[in-house]
Amino acid sequence: MKHDNIIRIVDMFTSAENAQNMQDAYFVTHLMDTTLERVLREHRKNSIQVLNDSQIKLFTYQMLRALKYIHSAGIIHRDLKPANIAINVDCDLKILDFGLARQAEAEMTGYVATRWYRAPEIMLNWRHYDKKVDIWSVGCIMVEMITGQPIFDGKDNAIDQLTKIINVCGTPSDEFLEKITSNEAKNYIRNHMPQLERKNFRQYFPQTTPDQAVDFLDKTLVIDPDQRPTAVEALKHPYFEEFHDADDEPAAEPINENIGENTWDLNEWRTLLWNEIASFANTNHSPND
């Protein structure tokens, strides 16, 4: 994918002479100064305000700009978190790590690496969740940039994570529960989860937080994904007005290649990777350079 806010491979090579002997492959990307996780960790360590509203707005805008491109290609990232957001001193942002990315129409599992940024529909065993899971993650990351703390820092189990979400976003409606295919999850929410009202987001965030930022989060951090904005809709929110330019927010052609569930052995994987490296190198230099 070729986009300003997505990490790109600028070179790839191997020292092997042929595919069968290949043990190592090297991928070169643009150099970035740090990750958002490191910046936020420094904030917590020193109890200082690291990011101002202008920076928070710009970083969130760039995430959404990247997601418009990723989603238009038919891809869901599924693992957006501060550790996968690279930034530099000029406040340029690039999304990293597509190791858990999947095509939108694929059958999904509930696994993503970091539970704190996981959308509730994933934990509720939806098999065909959509691109709105990435929008939820953006909301979680934005809150962390504002407050310096993860908003849904659940323990290492889905029940505690879901409880944290309900404590802020309120108990799911019956209309939402009917969309859940897992009867076990549906019954647990109805019979064991507390009945809570959604928090007033204006009261939940520091008074220094602009009202438009609060409104954006109020629209983004909702349990029902059908009520969340798409990346395209989110970019049009008034909070991002100073950056939003539809002519400078490119979309991608859908990616049609789907490897699906394959049964390739190790040598076939080596050959595929070798061919990819050779194809890339042919436009620049030989694979052995």
Question: What positions carry a catalytic annotation?
Answer: 97
Q: For residue 93, what are the β-bridge partners?
A: 87
Contact by Cβ (8 Å): 96, 7: yes
What is the C-alpha separation between 270 and 260, in angstroms, rounded? 18
Angle at 44 between CA 79 and CA 48, to 5 degrees: 125
One-character DSSP codes across 50-113: ---HHHHHHHHHHHHHHHHHHHHTTEE-----GGGEEE-TT--EEE---TT-EETTSPP-S--S
Contact between 184 and 149 under an 8 Å Cβ cutoff? The reply is no
The number of angstroms, rounded, from the C-alpha of 70 to the middle of its chain's C-alpha atoms is 10
CA 210 → CA 52, 141, 205, 221, distances in Å? 11, 17, 10, 17
